[in-house]
């Protein structure tokens, strides 16, 4: 017979009863930050949007939780972003638009803080799974609502149908969110039941098609290809993965050759189907536009100097020079070099290296602790998000996109706290 000691509700002398650890507040902040990502309209001064209220609330809530529980905070991506912030600050001080440069630096730090908030909150499998669940479920709900509201006018608009920007106000930003959300849903296999997951994935994919964003669509396919190779590598070994990669390359090359011979893009541009016309059909125009932008931006590099011209000065300078197509750099790598100088380019390379190290840490579920692998059973699709972003960054500036840093923060949670063999991905405070 077991004798149970009598229970006492009395606390030791001098001790205080804990009334809460702030976890509920942190969870509410995470929900608010992730669920409001698509609300970018109306836009206010310096591109501040309603979504930023959610992100700020999320950062503040996680900081309160961390303070109440005395958590030791980790700062992922601090090396690369730290160098970029220093380079940007120096370039802005000597550039043509110092105030706008200062605003850009604040945006850098703000988005890094959001990623760090997610990474630190997800220090247990339950909390990391909560972050992923919020993203997947909110993406499913938003996608269904947006497709229902905007889809009929976009699909049924005939020759006058335009690409859908939804509540983002810009098609490529919308395309990035849809594509990343689809990959996160595949990585987490959420919703759990397939009969709910299939229509949710369908709504996200349709929303992506409605945006007509070639950068997001092509980046998604590239990311999916890499994810498949990684999954084959994890299950069948390197030899099978190499053979599978060669087969994929052969397939892609054959499709590309057939498309070129059949003048697929020209035919797509004349298609009565708005989904085809506004996506594949824009291929030639989009390519020529990007070539012109890159030529203009590289021309600025030749006169930008070692320190750079200052953040967000590319379009301003091109207008001053009366360029044929004054526009932003549309390339993060070129923008870093022109606007933040050689040091800024070193910073973005360092940030890319940090992301590569993180990807090597989490790509295989066997490299995660069992409880973390349970909430992220197919992490290769999360790594596919990095591939998508890398390709997207070659034709658009993505470093100030909120979904990018949500992805970075989510992935860092698994890399910092979920890896089977622990090693540092960031500094401590």
Would you state the pLDDT for residue 319?
Answer: 76
Would you state the pLDDT for residue 427?
Answer: 44
* Per-residue model confidence as pLDDT tens for the chain (429 residues): 333 433 333 333 333 334 457 899 999 999 999 999 999 998 888 889 999 999 999 999 999 999 999 999 999 999 999 999 999 999 999 888 889 899 999 999 999 999 999 999 999 999 999 999 999 999 999 999 999 988 777 765 555 567 888 999 899 999 999 999 999 999 999 998 999 999 999 999 999 999 989 899 999 999 999 999 999 999 999 999 999 999 999 988 887 777 665 566 666 656 666 666 666 666 666 666 666 766 777 667 777 778 888 898 887 777 777 666 666 778 899 889 999 999 999 999 999 999 999 999 999 999 999 999 999 999 999 999 999 999 999 988 999 999 999 999 999 999 999 998 654 444 444
Q: Say how far apart CA 118 and CA 138 lie, in whole Å.
A: 16
Would you state the pLDDT for residue 89?
Answer: 96
Q: Say how far apart CA 352 and CA 343 lie, in whole Å.
A: 14
Q: Say how far apart CA 178 and CA 216 lie, in whole Å.
A: 8
Phi, psi of 75 (to 5 degrees): -120, 90
DSSP bridge partners of 76: 426
Would you state the pLDDT for residue 78?
Answer: 96
DSSP 396: S
3-state class of 111 per DSSP? helix
Supply the pTM of this predicted model: 0.88
Would you state the pLDDT for residue 164?
Answer: 85
Element (H, E) at 175: helix 171-188
169 contacts 41 by C-beta, under 8 angstroms: yes
Tokens representing residue 216 in the block: 């997001």
Which of 144, 114, 131, 135 shows the shortest CA–CA distance to 54?
Answer: 114
49 contacts 39 by C-beta, under 8 angstroms: yes
Would you state the pLDDT for residue 304?
Answer: 75
Across 237-340, the runs of DSSP E, i.e. the strands, are none
Would you state the pLDDT for residue 306?
Answer: 85
For residue 141, count other CB atoms closer than 10 A to its CB: 13
Q: 269-277: long-range contacts (C-beta < 8 A, 24 or more apart)?
A: 272/158, 272/159, 274/154, 274/155, 274/157, 274/158, 274/161, 275/155, 275/209, 275/210, 275/212, 277/161
Which of 395, 208, 217 shows the shortest CA–CA distance to 289?
Answer: 395
How many residues in total does the chain contain?
Answer: 429
Would you state the pLDDT for residue 352?
Answer: 97
358 contacts 410 by C-beta, under 8 angstroms: no
337 contacts 84 by C-beta, under 8 angstroms: no
Would you state the pLDDT for residue 280?
Answer: 67
């Amino acid at each position: 017979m077991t004798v149970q000691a009598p229970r006492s509700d009395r606390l030791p002398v001098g001790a205080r009863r804990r009334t809460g650890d702030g976890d509920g507040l942190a969870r509410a902040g995470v929900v608010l930050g992730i669920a409001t990502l698509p609300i970018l309209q109306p836009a206010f001064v310096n591109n501040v949007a309603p979504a930023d209220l959610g992100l700020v609330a999320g950062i503040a809530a996680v900081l309160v939780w961390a303070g109440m529980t005395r958590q030791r905070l980790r700062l992922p991506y601090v090396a690369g972003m730290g160098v970029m912030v220093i380079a940007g600050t120096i370039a802005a001080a000597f550039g043509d638009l110092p105030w706008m440069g200062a605003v850009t630096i604040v945006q850098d730090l703000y988005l890094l803080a959001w990623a760090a908030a997610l990474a630190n909150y997800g220090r247990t499998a339950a909390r990391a799974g909560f972050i992923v669940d919020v993203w997947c479920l909110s993406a499913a709900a938003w996608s269904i609502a947006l497709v229902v509201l905007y889809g009929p006018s976009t699909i049924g608009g005939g020759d006058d149908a335009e690409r859908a920007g939804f509540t983002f106000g810009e098609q490529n930003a919308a395309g990035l969110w849809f594509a990343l959300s689809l990959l996160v849903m595949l990585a987490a296999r959420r919703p759990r039941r397939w009969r709910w997951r299939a229509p949710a994935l369908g709504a996200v994919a349709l929303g992506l098609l409605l945006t007509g964003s070639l950068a997001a669509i092509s980046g998604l396919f590239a990311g999916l290809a890499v994810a498949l190779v990684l999954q084959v590598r994890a299950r069948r070994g390197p030899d099978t993965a190499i053979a599978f990669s060669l087969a994929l390359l052969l397939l892609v090359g054959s499709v590309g050759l057939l498309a070129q011979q059949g003048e697929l893009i020209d035919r797509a541009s004349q298609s009565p189907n708005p989904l085809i016309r506004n996506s594949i059909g824009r291929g030639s125009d989009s390519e020529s536009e990007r070539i012109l932008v890159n030529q203009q931006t590289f021309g600025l590099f030749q006169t930008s100097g070692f320190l750079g011209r200052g953040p967000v000065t590319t379009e301003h300078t091109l207008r001053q020079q009366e360029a044929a197509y004054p526009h932003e750099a549309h390339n993060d790598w070129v923008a870093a070099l022109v606007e933040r100088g050689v040091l800024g380019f070193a910073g973005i390379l360092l940030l890319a290296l940090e992301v590569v190290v993180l990807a090597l840490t989490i790509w295989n579920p066997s490299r995660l602790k069992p409880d973390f692998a349970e909430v992220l059973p197919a992490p290769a699709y999360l790594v596919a998000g990095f591939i998508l972003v890398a390709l997207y960054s070659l034709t658009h500036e993505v470093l100030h996109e909120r979904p990018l840093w949500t992805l970075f923060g989510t992935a860092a949670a698994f890399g910092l706290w979920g890896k089977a063999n622990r090693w540092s991905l960031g500094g401590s405070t």
